[in-house]
Amino acid sequence: MIGPLRDWYNRHFTDPQVVILALLLIFGTAIVVLAGRLLAPLLASVILAYVLEGAVQKLQRLNMPRLPAVILVFVVFLALFVVTLLGLFPLLSQQIVQLVRELPGVVAQGQNLLLQLPERYPQFVSEEQVREMMGAIRTEATLLGQRVVSLSLASAMHLVTFFVYLIIVPLMVFFLLKDKDAILHWITSFLPRDRGLASEVWAEVNVKIASYVRGKFVEILIVWAVTFVTFTLFGLNYAMLLSVMVGVSVIIPYIGAAVVTIPVALVAYFQWGLSAEFAWVLIAYAIIQFLDGNVLVPLLFSEVVNLHPVAIIAAVIVFGGLWGLWGVFFAIPLATLIQAVIRSWPRYREVPVEESKRV
């Protein structure tokens, strides 16, 4: 057993380039796992800086110096951030409160529908099964109310931290953009000079992650805006809340769209029942999802992500389980990193036994 392990180690870890790459991956993973929550503001700032860096580079290609380009992009970002904070959040909170208030009536209506099932379909559903389902619904409704109360208390306790982050994150975004070259030079000064393999992997991953993050933000905004306009034209209740959910759902490939379909269908059903309006809303929602997956995604992410759907879903499950929402958002970039490491990892050809004897 020791012999094969020694041979495997000699084949893969005798190259200093490989050792440096492995140590960097272990060190980076340890930082995220052990200090991910503490570094959340920094991670958020890095993501936003990634998104805005593309606009800065476009202005630089138009012969604008970097500092004025950074200031212009940051001012536009700050204006949009303030408008979103003052306009979107109050509307979202209002619709959430309205939904919580109307939830008992929705639950009662759902119970009435369940009570009719044994009469209409006695061969499939019994009264005892309906009573068990109603008990489960009451229990879940009670737990949901308790979660909302505890969430409100927790939010109130962390309100000061939230406002501190509102100041810290934009400041860090500005300095990450302004002093990008100096920060990168400072970080690379701690790395070994002989890091060709690590630099090769980073060059590939950096381009793909930057393109992915920027494309994902654009996709979220487009899907959210189109969905909001569509739901508003149909007069669907909670149009803003549902459209935001649909927009955010694109973070989770394949799974997100399927999950968000449930609240959209439920709200439409309890508003109109099995009517033409209900059918048209679901058809419009299906068209939006179809255009997103077959038109928008190929336009935004062509040549950026070349992963099999099974690998994408596995990455979402694994990294989402490890790091929650951050892991879900970065599941595809992290899977791309692993793919780049595997592709760039040195491969050693096994020498046949006959050739080794000849030598």
pLDDT in tens, 178-204: 888 888 788 777 666 666 666 667 776
pTM for the complete prediction?
A: 0.68
Question: pLDDT per residue over 106-121, tens digit each?
Answer: 767 776 776 676 777 6
Whole-angstrom Cα distance, residue 37 to residue 41?
Answer: 8
Across 37-46, 294-303, 340-349, least confident range: 340-349
Contact 130, 114 (CB under 8 A): yes
Whole-angstrom Cα distance, residue 260 to residue 241?
Answer: 11
Where do the DSSP E strands lie in 186-287?
none
Q: 8 or 125: which carries more pLDDT confidence?
A: 125
pLDDT at position 319 is 74
pLDDT-based confidence at 227, cuts 50/70/90?
A: very high
Domain map (residue ranges) of the chain: 34-194, 196-346
pLDDT at position 351 is 43
User: Per this entry, what is the length of the chain?
Assistant: 359
Whole-angstrom Cα distance, residue 141 to residue 138?
Answer: 5
Q: What one-letter code names the amino acid at 82? A: V
pLDDT tops 80 at residue 12:
no
**Could you tell me if residue 254 is left (phi over 0), alpha (psi between -120 and 50 degrees) or otherwise beta?**
left
pLDDT at position 353 is 44
Phi/psi of residue 158, each to 5°? -100, 15
Phi/psi of residue 38, each to 5°? -65, -35
Instruction: Write out the H or E segment, with its range, that includes residue 330.
Output: none
pLDDT at position 357 is 45
pLDDT-based confidence at 5, cuts 50/70/90?
A: low
Contact 257, 93 (CB under 8 A): no
Phi/psi of residue 162, each to 5°? -60, -45
pLDDT-based confidence at 52, cuts 50/70/90?
A: confident
Q: How many beta carbons lie within 10 A of that of residue 131, not counting itself? A: 13
